[in-house]
């Protein structure tokens, strides 16, 4: 239903920290919502990916968090907020391959240090802020009409 500021759809979803059994469910719902809204396939693919990586980060590191989806005609916005340990060195955390994941997380094939790197690659706007001991906030935008970046085929 149309809402203010050109918002076509808006909802938020709680994510439980440490629960790998349900990891990916929120991203699955977001993907289904975007499909229902008939957005271009490539936009769905990219928005789902940034949602998934945010969700996995909350599950892997935070106590709990929330992912918010805002869809406008010109862009899809994904916001991820968590209550958790925060990130000490954001620049380092953005580097491909850098990870603070523990052994259990790595054994499952997570914690490869690709999450934030993937988000940065697949979103058109990516802002990250974090406070150690409090939590992390991610703001990601996938533009609907933007020409696709070259590195993504």
Point out which residues bind other proteins (CB under 8 A): 20-21, 23-25, 27-28, 31, 45, 48-49, 52-53, 56, 108-110, 112, 114-115, 117-118, 121-122
CB of 114 vs other proteins, minimal distance in Å? 4
Rounded to 5°, the CA angle 10-11-13 comes to 155
CB of 54 vs other proteins, minimal distance in Å? 12
- Tell me how crowded residue 142 is: count the other CB atoms within 10 A of its CB: 27
CB of 49 vs other proteins, minimal distance in Å? 6
Q: Which is nearer to other proteins, 5 or 103 (CB)?
A: 103
The interaxial angle of helices 41-61 and 115-122, nearest 10 deg, is: 160
What tokens appear for 129 in the block?
A: 């802020």
Q: Which is nearer to other proteins, 7 or 117 (CB)?
A: 117
- Among 53, 54, 55, 44, residue whose Cα is nearest residue 22: 55
CB of 6 vs other proteins, minimal distance in Å? 27
Q: Which is nearer to other proteins, 9 or 117 (CB)?
A: 117
Q: Which is nearer to other proteins, 14 or 73 (CB)?
A: 14
Q: Which long-range contacts (CB under 8 A, 24 or more apart) does 104-111 make?
A: 105/60, 108/20, 110/56, 110/60, 111/60
């Amino acid at each position: 239903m149309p809402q203010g500021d050109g918002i076509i759809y808006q909802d938020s979803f709680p994510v439980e920290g440490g629960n790998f059994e349900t990891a990916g469910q929120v991203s699955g719902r977001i993907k289904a919502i975007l499909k229902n809204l008939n957005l271009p396939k490539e936009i769905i693919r990219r928005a789902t990916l940034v949602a998934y990586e945010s969700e996995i980060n909350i599950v892997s590191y935070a106590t709990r968090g929330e992912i918010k989806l805002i869809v406008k005609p010109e862009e899809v916005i994904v916001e991820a907020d968590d209550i958790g340990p925060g990130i000490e060195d954001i620049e380092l955390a953005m580097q491909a391959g850098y990870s603070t994941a523990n052994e259990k997380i790595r054994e499952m094939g997570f914690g490869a240090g690709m999450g934030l790197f993937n988000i940065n690659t697949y979103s058109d706007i990516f802002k990250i802020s974090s406070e150690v001991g409090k939590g992390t906030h991610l703001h990601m935008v996938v533009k609907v009409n933007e020409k696709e970046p070259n590195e993504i085929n």
